[in-house]
Amino acid sequence: CGHAEVCWLCTVRLRAVLRDFRCPVCKEELPEVALVADAREDAATRSGASVGGALRDAKLGLVYGSMAIRDEVERLFDYSCWQRGCCEAGRCFSTLAALEKHLLDQHKRKFCPTCLNDRK
C-alpha cells in the first residue's frame, strides 16, 4: 500500500502480538512488509520486491532491509534484563523463567502475572 509513516516497532508489535497483518493506516491486508533504514525508499523496495531476499521472517511476514535491522527486531523477542546498572545487562536468558528468577534474585522485582499472561 506504500504507507511508510508507521514506525517499525508498531508494525512488529501488531504482527507479533496481535496477529494483525493489516496496514494501520488504510487497513489493507499486507502478507509482507519491508523494514528498511530509509522510509523514503521507493514503494517497490518497501513492499519487499527488491529488499534482501534471504532476510525474511515468513511467520511475521517481515522482510528486513539489512542484517542490522533483523538483529534489532530479534532483540525485541529476547529475554533480557532492562534494569539500569544491571551487571548482566545485555545477557539473553534462555527462558522466561530464568529471566524471572534473575529479576527476583538480583533486583527484587516480579512481572505482573496479569500483564504477563493475559495481555495482548
pLDDT of residue 114: 82
- Predicted confidence band of residue 44 (pLDDT cuts 50, 70, 90): very low
- Whether residue 41 has pLDDT greater than 80: no
Per the listing, cell 508494525 goes with 11
18-39: pLDDT as tens digits:
999 999 999 999 999 999 988 7
At 66, is the pLDDT very low, low, confident or very high (cuts 50, 70, 90)? very high
Q: What is the largest CA-CA distance in the chain?
A: 50
* pLDDT, greater one: 44 or 111: 111
Q: Tell me how long the chain is.
A: 120
- Cα distances from 116 to residues 20, 68, 85, 97, in angstroms, run 20, 28, 24, 12
E strand or H helix at 44, and its extent?
A: helix 43-46
Instruction: Compute the chain's Rg from CA coordinates.
Output: 17
What's the whole-number mean pLDDT along residues 8-15?
93
pLDDT band at 1 (very low <50, low <70, confident <90, very high): confident
Report residue 119's pLDDT band, with 50, 70 and 90 as the boundaries.
low
How confident is the model at residue 104, as a pLDDT?
A: 95
